[in-house]
Structure 1
């Protein structure tokens, strides 16, 4: 099924987190699904991410030449990213075995890449030329290891997506207030009304 890559799909705050969040409802084994089950969605995701993550990428476009060929590398980085940083949020520390897994996966994403990155003001390199999606994904994932970024990582209590909390007082609860926040509010309202109705029925 073709995915609509809307702004809500890019609420993680960084390319690597948006990619990790392409597995939906990770915490619910009965309902979870992978938006990259069709490798062609990797190319469509990268095209959308070029726009939604333009600030992070310094305006450099993401290139996907062969989605099926790069899928194993992309999925390896995605899963290593989720494993390491989800654990970091829950436990408040980075696990070394998870770190080795992330470094290995990112090495795979950078292997064969012939470009330059990390020039002043251009963390992803020259914006005039595209960068391979798997290489950019590796750079984004590695950038998450900064201590100040790890401290701001959160897990959305509604959908379980990872996101960076950039609010001034680090109090953001939801990946997307307009979606997950409103769903939680609606759910709480429904539960309160149901409880009140049950009390009224007992009293009658």
Structure 2
């Protein structure tokens, strides 16, 4: 199956969140899709993050994660998702923070910077560490439509969806059709 990374896939506002969001329908075992199960998609994610990622200027051109580092990269993705999701849900879980910090350390110990480019896994570790060390818990949210994690960078912190053009429109369309069905005999 062919898959293309689009700007919508980078709605998280931080590389660590975009990586965590690479699992679509995470909590629906029947429909869950892990975009990184295909290593070619994982490799193309780095290229797309260079175009669409919110932190592309911070890291510069991202290189691909080395094949021997993919497992620690996926461990980092899962630890980041668990920790930041618990933060949004206001669950104080020191064990999840410890897991995330261990995953960050594992990636940073094994991932040298190559040729001026930082590898995707190292950049993700730096992004997650930045989110942990500069917490703005009221800016971190979960989209009520797709359940992706995202940073609300709006001035009044009122953003509801990860991407208004996709999830916001879907939610508004569902409400419209429900109201229409309720008014029809």
TM-score, normalisation: structure 2:
0.92
The structure-2 alpha-carbon separation of the partners of 1:177 and 1:193, relative to structure 1 and needing over 3 Å to count, comes to same
Question: Given the alignment, which residue of 148, 152, 172 partners 2:139?
Answer: 152
1:108 maps to 106
Q: Which runs of 5+ in 2 are unaligned?
A: none
Displacement after TM superposition at 1:193 (Å): 1.1
8 Å CA contact retained: 2:142, 2:149 = yes
1:90 maps to 89
Distance (Å, rounded) in 2 between the aligned partners of 1:17 and 1:47: 17
Distance (Å, rounded) in 1 between the aligned partners of 2:119 and 2:108: 9
Distance (Å, rounded) in 2 between the aligned partners of 1:59 and 1:77: 18
- Where 2:136 maps in the other structure, the secondary structure is helix
Q: Please say which structure displays the higher CA radius of gyration.
A: 1
2:125 maps to 138
The structure-2 alpha-carbon separation of the partners of 1:59 and 1:113, relative to structure 1 and needing over 3 Å to count, comes to closer
Alignment of 1:37-116 (within 5 A): 37-53=37-53, 55-58=55-58, 60-64=60-64, 66-67=66-67, 69-91=68-90, 93-115=91-113
The structure-2 alpha-carbon separation of the partners of 1:75 and 1:112, relative to structure 1 and needing over 3 Å to count, comes to closer
Distance (Å, rounded) in 1 between the aligned partners of 2:169 and 2:96: 34
Displacement after TM superposition at 1:30 (Å): 2.2
The structure-2 alpha-carbon separation of the partners of 1:9 and 1:146, relative to structure 1 and needing over 3 Å to count, comes to same
| Length, aligned pairs only | 185
2:3 maps to 3
8 Å CA contact retained: 2:59, 2:123 = no
Q: Which runs of 5+ in 1 are unaligned?
A: 116-127
- Superimposed CA distance per residue, residues 69-93 of structure 1 (whole angstroms, 9 cap, x where no aligned partner): 22211110100000000011012x5
| Structure 1 outlier segments of 4+, above 4 Å | 54-57
TM-score, normalisation: structure 1:
0.84
CA RMSD, Structure 1 to Structure 2 (Å): 1.9
The structure-2 alpha-carbon separation of the partners of 1:65 and 1:99, relative to structure 1 and needing over 3 Å to count, comes to closer
